[in-house]
Amino acid sequence: MKRLLKLILLIGYIAVLAEVFLRFLSPIPILPRYVSTTDYGIRGNMPNADYQHITEEYDINVKINSKGVRSNKEIEYKKSAGIIRIVTLGDSFMLGYGATLSETFLSQMLNSMPDKYKVEIINLGVSGHGTAEELLALREEGKKYEPDVVLLSWHGTDYDDNIRSGLFDIKGGYLTQVNNSYLPAVKLREYLFSFKLYEFIATNSQLYGWLRELVSEVVQDFRVELISLFKVQQSVSKSDKHNYPRNKDKKRELSIHLLLEVKKEVESMGAKFIVFDIPSRSSRTSFWSTFPEDVRLSEILVYNPIKDFSYNKKNILYWEKSAGHFTPIGNQIVGKALAELLEKKKYFD
Amino acid sequence: MLFNSFEFFLFLPIVLAVYWLLKGDFKKQNVILLAASYFFYAWWDIRFIFLIAVTTVVDYNAALIIQHGSTTFKQRFISVMFLIFFSVFLGFISWKEEAEWDVVQNAILVTTLLSISIYLLPLIVAKFKTISGAKLALSLSIISNLTILGYFKYFNFFVDSFTDASFFLFGIEPSFITLSIILPVGISFYTFQSMSYSIDVYRGQLKASKSLIDYAAYLSFFPQLVAGPIERGKTFLPQFQRKRNIENGDIKFGIWLIIFGLFKKIVIADNLAIFVNTVFSPYDNGELLTTPENGLMVLLAIYAFSFQIYTDFSGYADIARGTAKIFGFHLMVNFRLPYIATNPSDFWRRWHISLSSWLRDYLYIPLGGSRGGPFKTYRNLLLTMLLGGLWHGASITFVLWGAYQGTILILYRLLGVESAGEQSKPIMKVVHVIWMFHLVCLGWLIFRAQNVQTIYLFLDAIFTHMFVNQAILDGISTLEFYLIPLFIYQVLQVKHKTLFPQKIMTAIPNFHIWFFTIMSILALSSKQSSEFIYFAF
């Protein structure tokens, strides 16, 4: 009994010490993820969620409507006459982490469009989504909105996300859905959030936020590495094989297939497709693209803001202490450039 | 395979579990270590395990011939089988990967020639007197090691340098072929280790290993295979020839070394690298020819690099020592607080000790050391340091760095202050330490710069326009943030006169040091992990 008490005290002391360590030496952004189960087996934004994201750099409110779309109004599936609809798919960048609703690049894009177009945006971005989940979100939810344009954001983490979700695999050279559901710890989170104490800790403790990220990162990395090592079939051409490290081959090939499938799906809806390639960065001024270079993807319209970002090197374009999403300036540059590109490519005509 | 990679954290417990299961049978443990080491190396590039096999067989046979004048039939047979096994393995891999066959052809050629040599050499040596035969075997060992090293590391450098020199001196540009040669990771470390083994056997300081497995396991021991320390046969090989006792203290200390090494690498070195690269990288390709805006930023980046390279390399050495410890092996200490050195000789007794002592014992002293008067001493110092610089890589900046190190060693001797600061009062000692640190930093500028004009431009910036702005203050706080914990720990090391001060501390401070280090690794490690710098050498 005495030993048990000692152990509990020790764990408590370590927890306090860790909280102090993090608050002083490595402040953790508190970015609770309000996601829940959708009818189609993957994660979606929790309907009607209303929460704060607090970091050293910002304090932002996020509102989700009843259909899981980041918006302060309800949007009907049925499109009104004369309206051009853009359905957007992506991860936390697309959802607009780090930006108020009016600051997101989607709002900036809308503001930069000529008045002659009546455009409506349906943001289906969900933090943590990769192309595999985005494909299902488009099929099951995005389609209902009768999109004219589908904008998908690509991020370097998608390679891993697509493998990790285990939703699709390549069999005999074809993309095949091998699982109907991917809900990493969503049910557990929903259950835990029903306790007030838990919700308090989740939204206030830096140690909690850090542990959650750490555990999920370790579990995710472990899963990706294991799947890459043992499960995903090799469908890479022999000549390609020597150009890439073993695991990257599999991740890359699956992602290419998924992107092509999204394109096919968009075309079947009679809509136009554009990809926003979110640059990765090694410093405030050094960016690179992670979008897979492949002849099969060459027909897709891809917007990459590296050139625009390079012109604006003196500005801080990504938050530096808060999970690295776009700052308002970064959002503004992207939004304006996207609007110009869509106009130039006559996507609304 | 990197120490800070996912694969390594799967690999290590598996190897360790099998190794511990076989305790009591060190021969079988050596087989496991050999297989694990080759697997570890093959993870980087499977083809080059053949190269280690060649080096192993050459020096194994050379040492036996040096000592006994011949090899037994069994030893020759096992050597040839060892080579054939790896040739066949290479062929299998090439076939499976549908790679070019010229690598396999070369491997078959090398195997054939080496197998013939293994059988012929003892016959040839038998015709000589004992001493001459030993000399011949030693020469062949050294020539083969230097040929491998020269081909893979320096071939293109020498061809380019010769072409440039011809053009500069005579206006002629000879058309030589440069080859797309991949530098096998760790080649400089294991060839030096292997060479020192043959030399030590020749000098009678070590008995040649009768077992190829023991020798191969010694040469390829994975914790130190790719970035040292360069272990000497006389201290390290015997550890493969006897039962290893692993005590609780060893395991605790081993785990601490691994954790502390990881802290140095992924918390300090990788985070400092981000800062260093923002200043150096724009100049790396040699196209930017303008002086940096702020010399103070350059100076900060050089300070940061001096700690980046130290924590990167000594972090690797700590992980290597820690990993070896939990297998029951004792590797040498490669760094002893180098930045508290008071003079250049002191620095080289503290920095990359396994290389500096190698150069001293196998180059400087055989050249005559300090025995032939001042001029010869200076010549020997300069030559040794030049080759030490070149050991790091085929680049003019490494040669310049070696020349610089040789020059400051000579200057201290010329001024009669070669032991400066060692016996001084504490205040003067601090002055010497700070001065020496700056001399070392100037060396690191030469070392880090990818071309000569960067050195000039950075020095120009330092001496002409330095000013304080917000970026400088941010840079200073970055350095402070990552270096203060290291500084505190090193003060404890100096105060307690041990590299493991926790062993004489009470439980409470001990617990907090472990907590802080582990927590830092988990929470402060850089998201941009990079290879260990010395993997490139």
Q: Nearest chain A residue to B522 by CA: give it.
A: A214
| Residue B284 and residue B331 in one domain | yes
Of A18, A222, A241, which has the smallest distance from its Cβ to B519's Cβ?
A18
Mean pLDDT for chain B overall:
88
**Which range is least confidently modeled, A89-93, A268-272, B175-179, B404-408?**
B175-179
ipTM of the complex in this document = 0.74
Strand A301-303 to strand A272-277: parallel, antiparallel, or no bridges (unpaired)?
parallel
Query: Read out DSSP for B4-21?
Result: TSHHHHHHHHHHHHHHHH
B6 and A222: CB-CB below 8 Å? Answer: yes
| Residue B253 and residue B234 in one domain | no
Dig out the tokens for B239 from the structure: 């550890």
pLDDT tens digits, B448-496? 998 999 999 999 999 998 899 988 999 999 999 999 999 999 999 988 8
Q: Name beta bridge partners: A322.
A: none
pLDDT tens digits, A252-282? 999 999 999 999 999 999 999 999 999 998 7
Say if CB B347 and CB B341 are below 8 A apart: yes
Residues in A touching B99 (Cβ below 8 Å): 242
Measured N-to-C along each axis, helices B49-68 and B26-42 cross at an angle, to the nearest 10 degrees, of 140
Please say which residue of B215, B244, B273 terminates a domain.
Answer: B244
Residue B204, domain member (yes or no)? yes
Is the pLDDT at A330 greater than 80? The verdict is yes
| Residue B264 and residue B221 in one domain | no
Residue B127, domain member (yes or no)? yes
Higher pLDDT, A235 or B363: B363
Please say which residue of B226, B244, B262 terminates a domain.
Answer: B244
Q: Is B277 on the interface with A (CB under 8 A)?
A: yes
Please say which residue of B244, B260, B287 terminates a domain.
Answer: B244
Residue A311: per-residue pLDDT: 87
State whether residue A64 is helix, strand or coil.
Answer: strand
| Structure letter (DSSP) for residue B363 | I
Residue B359, domain member (yes or no)? no
Query: What kind of fold does domain A31-183+236-344 have according to CATH?
Result: Rossmann fold (3.40.50)
Residue extents of the structural domains in chain A = 31-183+236-344
Place of tokens 């907090």: B512
Residue A242: per-residue pLDDT: 38
Using alpha carbons only, give the angle B186, B246, B19 rounded to the nearest 5 degrees.
Answer: 60
pTM: 0.75
Q: Is B8 on the interface with A (CB under 8 A)?
A: no
Distance CA B134, CA B336 (A): 37
Residue B69: per-residue pLDDT: 84
Which are the catalytic amino acids of B? 392
Measured N-to-C along each axis, helices B73-97 and B212-220 cross at an angle, to the nearest 10 degrees, of 50
| Residue B64 and residue B179 in one domain | yes
pLDDT band of residue B174 (cuts 50, 70, 90) is low
**Residue numbers of the domain that contains B143:** 6-244
Place of tokens 């192309």: A131
Residue B403, domain member (yes or no)? no
Is the pLDDT at A241 greater than 50? The verdict is no
A21 and B277: CB-CB below 8 Å? Answer: no
Q: Is B524 on the interface with A (CB under 8 A)?
A: yes
Say if CB A56 and CB A320 are below 8 A apart: no
pLDDT tens digits, B301-353? 999 999 999 999 999 999 999 999 999 999 999 999 999 999 999 999 999 99
A214 and B522: CB-CB below 8 Å? Answer: yes
Is the pLDDT at A226 greater than 80? The verdict is no
Give the H or E element holding residue B512: helix B507-524
Q: In total, how many domains does chain B have? A: 2
Higher pLDDT, B165 or B270: B270
Test mutation, A13, A16, A17, A310, chain B, max B CBs within 10 A: A17
Residue A18: per-residue pLDDT: 94
Distance CA B244, CA B246 (A): 6
